């Protein structure tokens, strides 16, 4: 090992928002136990592309003894972050890495009965939903990432049914106004439960942090919160 420039994350400042992750082309930063952490020294090139995306100013470059940057290790690491049958894309956020799925054609359902939409309100985009909308009273909220309805095949039947939905993207949206807006919603309405549905990619964890911050700001930590993680191929876990 030799002294070189490398990323340092101040865990006392980090709130686990995940905004640094999409900007690390090597996948060297992951959210572990609610904090951004450097997975391995050899995965960090020391360029600091992640620095300007931390709202808590928890990331900086330092000089210290560290393993040399290893591009082969980076390629192997990125490959492990994808399914074995998926081609490696050398760079960018795991959430924007391009690949295809090898799916067999599925037979048409035996019934010709059309599937019913379970959407019960409009609008659905978090930015457009009024904090005083009548459908928010006595609601079970579903706060979902944009990609979830496309990946989760039973979205309407198993997830949306009986819920008031709000859609947002923690990576592409300007989420700074969302915390205050959600806090207002939690304060001014009788919310029964909150379900957060996010994709498995690291940057989508920001949606969970967004809801947690809004509940804390509103002083409504009494509202039960459930999290559903959806894989890019439609599998789920809580």
Helix, strand and coil content of the chain, in percent to the nearest 5, comes to 25, 25, 50
Q: pLDDT value at position 32? A: 83
Task: Give yes or no for residue 6 having a pLDDT over 80.
Answer: yes
Q: Are strands 225-230 and 191-199 parallel, antiparallel or unpaired?
A: parallel
162, 214 contact by CB (below 8 A): no
Percent of the chain with pLDDT over 70: 87
Q: pLDDT value at position 101? A: 61
Per-residue pLDDT averaged across 132-145, rounded?
96
Query: What is the sign of the dihedral through the CA atoms of 70, 35, 200 and 174?
Result: negative
Structural domain 134-237, CATH architecture: 3-Layer(aba) Sandwich (3.40)
Nearest to 206 by CA among 15, 3, 25, 7: 15
> Helix axis angle, 176-188 relative to 206-218, nearest 10°?
50
Task: Give yes or no for residue 51 having a pLDDT over 90.
Answer: no
Per-residue pLDDT averaged across 101-111, rounded?
66
Per-residue pLDDT averaged across 165-193, rounded?
93
Q: pLDDT value at position 121? A: 96
Q: pLDDT value at position 106? A: 64
Q: Per the structure block, which two tokens stand in for 145?
A: 């990432």
Task: Give yes or no for residue 87 having a pLDDT over 50.
Answer: no
Q: pLDDT value at position 84? A: 42
Q: Per the structure block, which two tokens stand in for 81?
A: 């972050």
Task: Write phi, then psi, for 34 (nearest 5 degrees).
Answer: 80, 5
If you write DSSP's letter for every residue of 41-84 in order, what string do you get?
GGG--S--TTGGG-TT--EEEEEEEEPPP-HHHHHHHHHHTS-T
Give ∠ CA 149-118-200 in degrees, rounded to 5.
Answer: 20
Helices (H), the chain: 71-80, 148-151, 176-188, 206-218
2-83 folds as Alpha-Beta Plaits (3.30.70)
DSSP summary character for residue 106: P
Give ∠ CA 166-168-169 in degrees, rounded to 5.
Answer: 160
Nearest to 163 by CA among 228, 215, 213: 228
Per-residue pLDDT averaged across 149-169, rounded?
95
Task: Give yes or no for residue 155 having a pLDDT over 90.
Answer: yes
Q: pLDDT value at position 117? A: 93
Residues 6+ apart with CB under 8 A from 133: 121
Confidence band for 99, pLDDT divided at 50, 70 and 90 = low
- Mean pLDDT, rounded, of the chain: 86
The count of other CB atoms within 10 Å of the CB of residue 51 is: 15
Per-residue pLDDT averaged across 72-79, rounded?
85
Q: pLDDT value at position 100? A: 61
Q: What would the pLDDT profile of 29-50 be if each residue is shown by its tens digit? A: 888 888 889 999 999 999 888 8
Chain-centroid distance of CA 80 in Å reads: 19
- d(CA 161, CA 214) in angstroms, rounded, equals 24
Q: pLDDT value at position 142? A: 98
Confidence band for 27, pLDDT divided at 50, 70 and 90 = confident
Any idea which residue has 């079970």 for tokens? 140
Q: What would the pLDDT profile of 187-230 be if each residue is shown by its tens digit? A: 999 999 999 999 988 778 889 889 999 999 999 999 999 999 99
Task: Give yes or no for residue 112 having a pLDDT over 90.
Answer: no
Fold equal for 2-83 and 134-237: no
Q: pLDDT value at position 168? A: 96
Domain borders along the chain are 2-83, 134-237
């Amino acid at each position: 090992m030799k002294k070189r420039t490398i990323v340092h994350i101040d865990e006392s400042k980090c709130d686990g928002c995940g905004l640094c992750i999409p900007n690390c082309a090597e996948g060297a930063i992951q959210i572990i136990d609610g904090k951004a952490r450097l997975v391995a020294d050899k995965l960090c090139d020391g360029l600091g592309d992640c620095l300007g995306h931390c709202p808590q100013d928890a990331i900086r470059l330092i000089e210290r003894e560290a393993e040399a940057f290893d591009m082969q290790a980076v390629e192997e690491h990125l490959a492990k972050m994808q399914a074995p049958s998926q081609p490696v894309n050398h760079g960018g956020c795991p959430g924007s890495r391009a690949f295809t799925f090898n799916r067999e054609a599925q037979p048409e359902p035996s019934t010709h009965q059309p599937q019913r939409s379970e959407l019960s309100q409009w609008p659905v985009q978090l930015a457009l939903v009024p904090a005083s909308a009548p459908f928010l009273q006595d609601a079970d909220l579903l706060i979902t990432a944009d990609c979830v309805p496309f990946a989760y095949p039973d979205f309407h039947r198993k997830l949306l049914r009986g819920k008031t939905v709000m859609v947002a993207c923690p990576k592409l949206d300007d989420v700074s106004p969302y915390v205050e807006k959600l806090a207002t919603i939690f304060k001014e309405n009788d919310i029964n439960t909150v379900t957060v549905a996010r994709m498995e990619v690291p940057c989508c964890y920001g949606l969970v942090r967004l809801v947690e911050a809004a509940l804390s700001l509103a002083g409504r930590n009494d509202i039960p919160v459930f999290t559903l993680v959806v894989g890019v191929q439609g599998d789920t876990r809580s």
